[in-house]
Structure 1
Amino acid sequence: MEKNTCHASVTTNRSALQVLSSENCDIEILEKGKTINDFLDNKIKERGSTGNDLPFYVANLDVVFKRHLLWLTHLPRVKTFFAVKCNNSPAVIQMLRALDTGFDCASKGEIQMALSLGVTPDKIIYAHTTKPRTHIKYARAHGVNLMTFDNEIELQKISQYHPKAKLVLRIAVDDSKSLLRLNAKFGARLDTIERLLERAEHLDLDIIGVSFHVGSGCTDSSAFKQAISDARHVFDLADSMGFQMRLLDIGGGFSLTGNCKAIFTEFAETINGALDEFFPPDCGVEIMAEPGRYYVESAFTLATCVNAKRVDTDPMAKHYNGEENSSVKMVYYINDGVYGSLNCLINDPAHTSVTPYLHKAVDGSEQQYQSVIWGPTCDSLDKIIENFWIPELEVGDWLLVDDMGAYSISILTDFNCFERAQICPVLTAETWYALNRF
């Protein structure tokens, strides 16, 4: 097994293998024929032999690569700027940098991280419409010029602290068909656009484009078509006032988990059709998007260990397939929870449940018990799942949770000072060789 172990260094070399070389990042590259599951099994075996029961992630970067290829196939005109807020692990940023994506940063800290990992300033959009003044000054000092706004006061701040910025006007669009709605907080209403453009003109600021976000978990592709149509209206108005408009940012909210694969294909068709209608290829407008969970949601598997166990006698416990075990209820406590990696259960409307599964082999005839699984903290809110039917577990057994790459690492806390899950990034040899040809 080949292992890259050095810290990232700043480089402008766009070769995928150069970016992911041992001098730049910490990624394990598997021997030919070895799978991600082999890697996970070995990791658990190693931890068992050393008594290490801390949680960890396996970051399957093959998934990130395959998602990128799928995007290029379905949305070839749309350049991706990965939303760092979704997953700020260095290996993910380095992988996407190797694929020549851009990066959507929402703060000074995210900009610092991207720059420290070799991302060049021209590959960053500072995509937050209400920025602290010190963060604007930091962006200016480090050559990050592309940034969003949606109100007059923000224009005044930018005029004072970054007057040469290239500005993208974020507009409010219909997000009523989305699980996570953003337009109540961000985006200028269409009836305020002319006044904003006049204010920018008065301040001698350079507006070059329009952005929007239809919300996460959108269920209706027509929201994209209407938003792109609205953006065309703003482009025409800005063009008539002398602005040189050349960028459209269609935001994020894309997913491929569950039933979303078919939805993504449908959305891509709608987006492509709307772009051809309102922003045809020969119009000179660059199209970009800010996908986050699309790239990483299925790339991370969380491995957690059973720390403690209690057997409750509960005459009200339910039967399972007629088994006479109704008086027994199993209670387990694992080493990660809703204040850690599983924070999605309380923070992410698009990911409100998880289904842990056993790492060890289980005989299909093995008796199952009604169970509840708690996280490790002292808070009773820290519950993972209840009324969960599984075979009896023992302290030291491992449970796995898939699809844990989006808004998990970046939102977890240090409540009760439990250790954060280690991230173990890995590539198969097949993907490593494919990157060499990319």
Structure 2
Amino acid sequence: MEASRLAADGVPDAEKAFFVADLSAVYRQHQRWKHCLPDIEPFYAVKCNPDPYVLRLLAGLGTGFDCASNGEISQVLGIGAVDPSRIIFANPCKATSFIRGAQKAGVEMMTFDNADELYKIKRVYPGAKLVLRILTDDSKSLCRLGLKFGAPLVAVRGLLEKAKELDLDVVGVSFHVGSGCFDSNAFADAVMRARTAFDVGKEVGYAFKLLDVGGGFEDNNFERTAGVLRRAINEYFIDRRELGIRIIAEPGRFYVSKAFNLAANVIARRAPLDDGTEQDMDGMEEDQPRVMYYINDGVYGAFNCILFDHQVVHPYVLSLDGSFHVPAGSRTLKSSVWGPTCDSIDCVCANAELPATLAVGDWLGFDNMGAYTICAASRFNGFDVSKVVYTVGGGSDGREVKAVLGSFARATRGY
């Protein structure tokens, strides 16, 4: 509605796309985590969505943070009232300058999975608290991180012996079953492998006190995954309380995916002319949609999740001809939706059923746009990154969010 008023007044770029972030959705996910996994401390994966209000809310709720770079560490510490002990530098292959930067920032916990990393750490930060990242089966995940990170079990003894030789403090074991894991049983297998690494560590002379179960938690199977994880921990780490083992995790998309939705404006349309002839649509196959819509965000912006995160998005109509009401039973057409750049790979949705009356100036909505979207958006072709509008929703959740943010703001005065 505001965009329509601004456009009528001739304001440039009045119809630009925007996110709506419901911070109460983040709060509800945190409550869900505490209910299902009360003994596992969440360290939010900042890379997933480094939104400043999300970070402030989670900091106020007492979570830790999984950071992968000096920039992320600086951002988390920069919001104030977050002690460096609440950060794990969970990047197994770091630049020497980044290790030195973590030391200056007071961040002690960091991961490794190779001998060269041990030599670097010994040289510049010998007092670090090291966490050995092991390789797990991530074949059922959207993003297979094992292709890049993780020490196979056969290499664990050699790495720990080398760490012992260098007099480095290895405090525990971590794993990551892959981002977007749809096979809950992958966590059970990973916990079993972690137990093996713990036992090897004991034989080498370490008494590990930390188990990091990583990320990969999905919204739609979270309860099942949490149950599998609890049972595996009870089976393989039945002595965890006796030994004083702390368990943490690195959830990312679980917290923010559903909290962000995107509104995009239809800025152009290619379709059959009214007289029954068609515009030039060379290059299109016969079985492709004959109506093409162009919106003002695309795969170089918020929809980079399609290329990098293997996501499939589903557009729906937000407003039609100035109205939020879409008549039931409206005729639809097979359509495709494209981003605003001049690159032909900028396809948001190759096949969608949209109302036949959808036209330039109407708005489309996209749900579940909070994970790995804004964080990787670029300004290719000179297009701006979509802005975020915040809400805390209504009811008791909204009041709790306001209270947490207010309390955190008071705690950070002076930072």
Counterparts in 2 of 1:12-51, with a 5 A limit? 51=11
TM-score, structure 2 length as denominator?
A: 0.87
Q: Pick from 22, 25, 29 the counterpart of residue 60 of structure 1.
A: 22
Query: Does the 8 A contact of 2:142 with 2:309 survive in 1?
Result: no
In structure 2, the partner of 1:298 is 258
CA drift of 1:48 comes to: 5.3
Q: State the aligned residue count.
A: 382
CA drift of 1:315 comes to: 8.4
Q: Pick from 35, 55, 60 the counterpart of residue 73 of structure 1.
A: 35
How many percent of aligned residue pairs carry the same amino acid? 44
Q: Whole-Å Cα distance in 2 between the matches of residues 83 and 67 of structure 1?
A: 14
- Identify if the C-alpha distance between structure 1 residues 352 and 365 changes in structure 2 by more than 3 Å, giving closer, same or farther: closer
| Structure 1 range deviating more: 360-369 or 271-280 | 360-369
1:233 aligns with 2:192: no
- Identify if the C-alpha distance between structure 1 residues 62 and 49 changes in structure 2 by more than 3 Å, giving closer, same or farther: farther
One-letter identity of the residue aligned with 1:408: T
- Identify if the C-alpha distance between structure 1 residues 340 and 83 changes in structure 2 by more than 3 Å, giving closer, same or farther: same
CA drift of 1:45 comes to: 6.0
- Identify if the C-alpha distance between structure 1 residues 365 and 235 changes in structure 2 by more than 3 Å, giving closer, same or farther: closer
Query: Does the 8 A contact of 1:57 with 1:421 survive in 2?
Result: yes
Q: Deviations over 1:325-370 (max 9, x none)?
A: x9x9432211000110011111112x13333333331112433223
Structure 1 gaps, min length 5: 1-41, 317-325
Q: Deviations over 1:225-282 (max 9, x none)?
A: 12111111211221233323100000101111xxx2xx22111111111111222352
In structure 2, the partner of 1:433 is 399
Q: Whole-Å Cα distance in 2 between the matches of residues 43 and 240 of structure 1?
A: 66
SS at match of 2:160: helix
Q: Deviations over 1:38-84 (max 9, x none)?
A: xxxx6556655654111110011111000000111111111000111
Query: Does the 8 A contact of 1:170 with 1:212 survive in 2?
Result: yes
Q: Pick from 312, 329, 347 the counterpart of residue 352 of structure 1.
A: 312
In structure 1, the partner of 2:326 is 362
Q: Whole-Å Cα distance in 2 between the matches of residues 372 and 230 of structure 1?
A: 45
Q: Deviations over 1:385-428 (max 9, x none)?
A: 23422222232211111100000011111110101100112213
Q: Pick from 353, 373, 380 the counterpart of residue 408 of structure 1.
A: 373
Q: Pick from 326, 332, 337 the counterpart of residue 298 of structure 2.
A: 337
Query: Does the 8 A contact of 2:313 with 2:366 survive in 1?
Result: no
One-letter identity of the residue aligned with 1:91: Y
1:104 aligns with 2:66: yes
Query: Does the 8 A contact of 2:315 with 2:366 survive in 1?
Result: yes
Q: Pick from 45, 48, 52 the counterpart of residue 86 of structure 1.
A: 48
SS at match of 1:252: coil
Structure 2 gaps, min length 5: 279-286, 408-415
- Identify if the C-alpha distance between structure 1 residues 433 and 141 changes in structure 2 by more than 3 Å, giving closer, same or farther: same
- Identify if the C-alpha distance between structure 1 residues 238 and 267 changes in structure 2 by more than 3 Å, giving closer, same or farther: same
Q: Whole-Å Cα distance in 1 between the matches of residues 5 and 381 of structure 2?
A: 27
In structure 2, the partner of 1:273 is 231
1:253 aligns with 2:253: no
Q: Whole-Å Cα distance in 1 between the matches of residues 300 and 52 of structure 2?
A: 22
- Identify if the C-alpha distance between structure 1 residues 47 and 285 changes in structure 2 by more than 3 Å, giving closer, same or farther: farther
In structure 2, the partner of 1:389 is 353
Q: Deviations over 1:109-151 (max 9, x none)?
A: 1111111112321111000000011111110011011000000
RMSD, aligned CA: 2.2
One-letter identity of the residue aligned with 1:433: R
- Identify if the C-alpha distance between structure 1 residues 267 and 66 changes in structure 2 by more than 3 Å, giving closer, same or farther: same
Q: Whole-Å Cα distance in 1 between the matches of residues 206 and 378 of structure 2?
A: 44
Q: Whole-Å Cα distance in 2 between the matches of residues 72 and 247 of structure 1?
A: 19
